[in-house]
Structure formats: structure tokens, C-alpha cells
Structure 1
């Protein structure tokens, strides 16, 4: 039944990792790119809106700058990305044009999605492109942003784009068939459905790192947490298989399906929960944790046991229990200095409207 609902998807985000786009030298594989574009074009022609989040810019620039192997210096990586991004887009433009489709390049940094006005502007731009039948091709702005190059953050970027719109489904196509138990052993097994991401599942993911992927499976689980909590399903599957998108969207058992939360977070709550680098942390006692999680209350001064960080009123903060486990995020109504002085009485440090349980 869970997979049956994927037949109703009308807007999807497809993320293509470096490993699935490139050859053994980590440079773009034209035949592989052609079959992936053909799959995306088929979904567009079936009436679905499709956004593509792509990696591969560094690999596309390596050959042009004479690198036989991926450089390690940040400035060299960024130079490869700057040269490679235009080459990558030229390839995509040609491949999609063969199917009568127009593409648009959208380069994003985290700040574009964190700042509220820029966040809404990015969403409006993407929605307008989709309305015109265009396929947006999205990448981290690697030439100026080191986070993606250093941390392999396009999995996270694809999850944030999915939550931004919001889309109905995120599909991450990679070099493996999904989340694999006993990876590299005699009896590997693709886990078909994940309803909750816990410590045991994260241990499995750490054993499924691909040598051709910067982020590996761990970053894909982080992406899954974002879209699942937003109320959106996600599938990890093999981009080496032909017709894999068609099978997923026909409800067939392909890859690993991550089941979403039963209710979809509203847009502003998604923005608070996922689009910020929190500026500080509030540690709360058990009574406050219960009030926030189970009774839908605001966070009041008596419940705060400790305040860390240097933040101002209006900044997003993490909210953790006394063990340090983050269970919520919210917009602080007061600065860290005001909270530490413990002179606040009869006020809401984080109002319920500005708080999200993770």
C-alpha cells in the first residue's frame, strides 16, 4: 500500500550522485547520462514535474584542467567545479533537447535557503520554471561554497529542495540498490522499507559507504530524516538500472522506500526545522521536554537548565534534553545573554508557533 501511493506523485526531485554519473576516472559518462536523462524525460512527458539535483561538476572540470585524479586542495576543487559546471550543463542541455525539453541552471548556497526572503524567492523561481515545463537542474554553488565539496552535501541539498517546494517524492539514484544490510558480506540484503531511522539503521548505513561517493549512505539517511519529517517519502535506488524511475513510480518494489510522517509540516515550520545552522542550544529538563513534545506548549524560562552559544533574539536554536539529544528547533524570542541572566519571568523563550518537534 505504501508503494501504491507513489503512483500519485505529480512533482518529484531526482538526485544524481557523482558515482552514478561518472566513469572509473570520475569523469562524466555520456552513455550513462543519456539513459538517466531519458528516464527523467519520460516522467516529464508522463505529466510529472521533475527537478534534477546533480553532482559531477568537479569530475567534469578535472579533465579540462589536466587532473588525472581528484585534487585535495579546496581552491583546486573549486576551480574544477567552476570549469566543470558549465560543461556539465552543456551536456544536460544537449541531452534534454533531444527529448524536446528545456533546462535551467539553478546554483544555490545554504544562505539562499536560510534567509527567509531568498528562501521564498528560490521557491517562486523553481515553481515558475516548472509551470513553464522547464526541468530545473540544481547544484550547490561549488565555486564559492566549500560545504558541498568538503562534506558531500548534495544529498542534503536535494532534501532541502524537496522540502522547499514541497515535492511529493525524493528519489536518490546511486551506485547501489538501496540501503543494504551486510554490505560487502556473503549475504547482502536490500532493506525494502524504512519507517523509522534509529541508531541500528545508522550503523547499517555506515557499512554501506561507496568509494565513488563523497557523502555515502550516512548523508542519505540525513536527507531521509528531513523529507520524512516534512511528510514526504524518499526512495534510494540504483541509477545503473534502466527504467528504475518508471518502476518506482509504478509502485513496484524497487530500492529502499523511506515512509513519511503521517502529516506534512507547514512551510514555515519546515523553514525553521531544516534550513538553518542553529546559533545555539537550549538544554531543557524532563518536565519541559514533556510539555513541548506531548502537550504542545511553548518553552518557558523555568524549564531551561542550560544555555549554550551566542545568539540573538530571532535566531534559530537547537532544543535538547539533559542527555544532549536534540528533539526540537525553534526561534528564540530572547538573546543568549538575556536567557543566561535568568531574569526572564512570565515570558515564552520559544513560542509554540516558532517551534518544531523533530
Structure 2
């Protein structure tokens, strides 16, 4: 067994993401018996000593039948209505499933906005930490009843990666209807063009020949989403296992199935992770070539002298993108000045500025390059 599978097998804190297809029949009907099997598998992992947070999809699917709908809705208002009804059914099913073991569940509904704003981000972290300390099982889902773009373009794969870092998890397990990562869609494979299974991803070079597809009609994810989210978590220092929900017990017992994604050697700090992945950028700074080299290659602070243009309406403390002269994004960081104030400082040497304006525009400690 590889060291990364071993790390997942022995992880003390685990986030388990469960896709919509893992909770529904092939016709799209919500299936409580499938949820019970997953709860049983997670319970076994918890009894073995691990702390587990569940990120559960399936709210919209669970609302289809109670509302008398014949298929998954496509318009936003009906999706939100289905999610409203389905959230009740979903959390009640989780509560009943874990009730067999005398466990209490707590529902935590999050949106992208909750992660983008530092205060909400911190509050969500505290809530999840407190639920765990009280020995409740946290059931996290995207707040589909009020989301807009999140429903149309978001998914719980990315949410699970963000949650894994938020709670300081030692591993992330993505359970879905796929066996793991292939270099092509196995459903479209032919003898002439077979799909090769990839048991481990050590870095981007292992993905050079991979072609990922979109999701099913039941959920919003797909291999593109799973791959992106796995790489996000791995880049933050969290090992990831992508495995079939039908083999959840094995995946959560010895991590011997599916594809494992190796984490980066050092875990990214919570603040740097927030800046890179969670925070919403409210503006952009265009850098000259010298500033790009200083920020990207030398990991130095960004000074006003290296900035050639400011765009957006931001305040000091907001997150902004850093652009090269050709508009390529080379980093993100927490800006120290308001947009209007910084606009008066462009290209000026620190020595030419008043004493109160001699701090960096973006300090190296608040900057993530690449």
C-alpha cells in the first residue's frame, strides 16, 4: 500500500463527500437504503477512532418525488423549491440512519459567499468544530435554496475540498458512481481506445493524457469537478481518495480502492488557502515585469512602484488578483489600500511616498503567487 493510501487509512479526521448518484436509483429516485449503507460504513470508520464530517449532495433529488416532479428541474426557481423540500428529507434520512447508533446529526448549510467572506468563513469553522467536539455528526450541504450561480455551476465536490481544509481534515474521501480516475470515459471505451485506470496521481504530470467528462443528469458534478476538487485539496496538503460509493466500506476501512491523490509536502496555512481558493477577488492590480518576477520568483511583497494599473472597487483588506502585463493572473493577495488611494501611488518609489503610505501594497505574508 502506498504511503498516501496509508495516510488516508489512518487519518484521524476525515471529510466524506457523497454524490447525488450515490443516494439515488438509476431512475433518479432518492433511496434511503443507499444512504443507510453509507451511514453504516461511516459509523464503522468513526468507531475505529476517526472524526468524520459528511458533505452530502442529494437535496434536489430528494425533493423531486415529494413535489410530484417527473424529473430533475432545470429552472432555478424549481431547483430551489426542490432543494427546500429535499433538504428536510435528506437530513431526516441521515438523522434516522445514525439514530440506529445513538448519534445526533447537525445540518450545516453553506454557500460560496460563506467561504469568500473571512468572518463567515471563521464562523463556519467554529460551528463545525463545536459540532465535532459535542460528538454530533455534521451533515454539510450547499445552501441550494438561496444559491444562484452555485446551483448552476457549483457542486459539492469543491465544497468538500474547502470544508476539508476548513476543519483541518487529514483526508478527503469523494464517494460517487465512478471507480476512480481514468484517462478517458470508460463508458465510451473501445478495444481500440481503452480507458486506462489511474490508481495514483502524484502531480500534474500524471494528468497529461487525461480527458475528463461532465456530470450526470442527476447531479451537478462530473469527473471534471471531482478532478479539480481533488487537486485543490491535494494542493492544500490534504490526501484525497476518489472511490465508488458502492465500495464505501472498503474505501473507509483500508483505502484500497479508487484513485488516490498525493498531497503537497507542506500544508498550506489557513490564511493562504483562503486567499487562493475561497476569497472573492474584488479587483485587480496590473504589475510590470519586474514586479512579476519579484512576486512570483522571489516571493517578495508587492510595492506600489511595480503596479501600472488598478481595476475594480476594493477597500484595504480585500482580496485582489495580480495580473502580468499580458493580463495573465500570476497571484492573489490581500491589498493594504483602497482602490482610490492606491491609484495615486502607481509607479512611485516608496521613498517618494508619505511615511504612512510606505507599507507594501500587498505584503508577502498575504500573497499567494501562481
Q: Which residue number in structure 1 is paired with residue 353 of structure 2? A: none
Does residue 355 in structure 1 map to residue 367 in structure 2? Answer: yes
Residues 225-276 of structure 1 show CA distances to partners (whole Å, capped at 9, x for unaligned) of 33122211112111122523235xx253x21211111111222222222221
TM-score (norm 1): 0.91
Pick one of 126, 132, 135 that aligns with 1:133: 135
Aligned-pair CA distance for 1:305? 4.1
- Say if 1:280 and 1:309, in contact at 8 Å, map to a contact too: yes
SS of the equivalent of 2:246 reads: coil
Residues 175-222 of structure 1 show CA distances to partners (whole Å, capped at 9, x for unaligned) of 111121121212112211222237x83873433644443121222233
- Say if 1:37 and 1:96, in contact at 8 Å, map to a contact too: yes
Q: Which residue number in structure 2 is paired with residue 206 of structure 1? A: 212
Aligned partners of 2:215, 2:59: CA distance in 1, in Å? Answer: 21
Q: Which residue number in structure 2 is paired with residue 192 of structure 1? A: 199
Q: Which residue number in structure 2 is paired with residue 82 of structure 1? A: 84
Written as runs of structure 1 = structure 2, the 5 A alignment for 1:85-96 is 85-96=87-98
Change (3 A) 1:9 1:323: farther
Aligned partners of 2:208, 2:227: CA distance in 1, in Å? Answer: 7
Aligned-pair CA distance for 1:288? 2.3
Aligned partners of 2:343, 2:131: CA distance in 1, in Å? Answer: 47
- Say if 1:195 and 1:259, in contact at 8 Å, map to a contact too: yes
Aligned partners of 1:256, 1:27: CA distance in 2, in Å? Answer: 28
Q: Which residue number in structure 2 is paired with residue 122 of structure 1? A: 124
- Say if 2:30 and 2:62, in contact at 8 Å, map to a contact too: yes
Written as runs of structure 1 = structure 2, the 5 A alignment for 1:292-331 is 292-331=295-334
Residues 333-355 of structure 1 show CA distances to partners (whole Å, capped at 9, x for unaligned) of 12333444426541411111211
Aligned partners of 2:43, 2:224: CA distance in 1, in Å? Answer: 29
Identify which range, 33-42 or 312-321, moves more after superposition: 312-321
Change (3 A) 1:293 1:195: farther
Identify which range, 154-163 or 325-334, moves more after superposition: 325-334
Pick one of 144, 147, 151 that aligns with 2:146: 144
- Say if 2:301 and 2:363, in contact at 8 Å, map to a contact too: yes
Aligned partners of 1:289, 1:156: CA distance in 2, in Å? Answer: 29
Q: Which residue number in structure 2 is paired with residue 216 of structure 1? A: 222
Pick one of 112, 115, 121 that aligns with 2:114: 112
Aligned-pair CA distance for 1:55? 0.8
Aligned partners of 1:201, 1:213: CA distance in 2, in Å? Answer: 24
Q: Which residue number in structure 1 is paired with residue 238 of structure 2? A: 232
Pick one of 132, 152, 159 that aligns with 1:157: 159
Aligned-pair CA distance for 1:109? 1.9
Aligned-pair CA distance for 1:105? 0.7
**Which runs of 5 or more structure 1 residues have no equivalent in the other structure?**
none
Aligned partners of 2:312, 2:227: CA distance in 1, in Å? Answer: 27
- Say if 1:5 and 1:251, in contact at 8 Å, map to a contact too: no
Pick one of 74, 77, 80 that aligns with 1:72: 74
Which structure has the larger Rg?
2
Aligned-pair CA distance for 1:90? 0.8
Aligned partners of 1:170, 1:217: CA distance in 2, in Å? Answer: 16
Q: Which residue number in structure 2 is paired with residue 12 of structure 1? A: 14
Aligned-pair CA distance for 1:323? 4.5
SS of the equivalent of 1:144 reads: coil
Aligned partners of 1:245, 1:191: CA distance in 2, in Å? Answer: 16
Identify which range, 318-327 or 145-154, moves more after superposition: 318-327
Q: Which residue number in structure 2 is paired with residue 263 of structure 1? A: 266
- Say if 2:172 and 2:239, in contact at 8 Å, map to a contact too: yes
SS of the equivalent of 1:204 reads: coil
- Say if 1:180 and 1:208, in contact at 8 Å, map to a contact too: no
- Say if 2:175 and 2:248, in contact at 8 Å, map to a contact too: no
Identify which range, 62-71 or 142-151, moves more after superposition: 142-151
- Say if 1:202 and 1:218, in contact at 8 Å, map to a contact too: no
Aligned partners of 1:209, 1:8: CA distance in 2, in Å? Answer: 31
Aligned-pair CA distance for 1:131? 1.6
